[in-house]
Amino acid sequence: MKGILRKCVKCGRYTIKQDKCPYCGSKVVVPHPPRFSPEDKYRKYRYLAKKIARIIPE
Ligand SMILES: [Zn+2]
């Protein structure tokens, strides 16, 4: 089922329609997932924050 989803360029909704958005009729594109998810990024920051907190106690 990979690659069947399309994302509307205008309203940002996901659809299985391959030609146009069923909600607003705009063009749809293949959504490209980011290489690093925001969740992973925040996890890294949390890890760094913990590490720094240990070095510099309040
Ligand atoms: Zn749309």
Which residue range is the domain that position 51 belongs to?
6-55
Contact 8, 26 (CB under 8 A): yes
Instruction: Give the Å distance between the CA of 13 and the centre of ligand 1.
Output: 6
Query: pLDDT digits over 18-49, tens only?
Result: 999 999 999 999 987 666 666 777 788 888 88
Output the CA 50–ligand 1 centroid distance in Å: 42
Separation of CA 9 and ligand 1 centre (Å): 7
Ligand 1 centroid to Cα of residue 10, in Å, is: 5
- Total of domains in the chain: 1
- At 30, which CATH number? 2.20.28
| Residue 1, domain member (yes or no) | no
pTM, two decimal places: 0.51
Q: How far is the CA of 4 from the centre of ligand 1 (A)?
A: 16
Within 8 A by CB and 6+ apart from 7, the residues are: 13, 14, 15, 28, 29, 30, 31
pLDDT at 11 over 90: yes
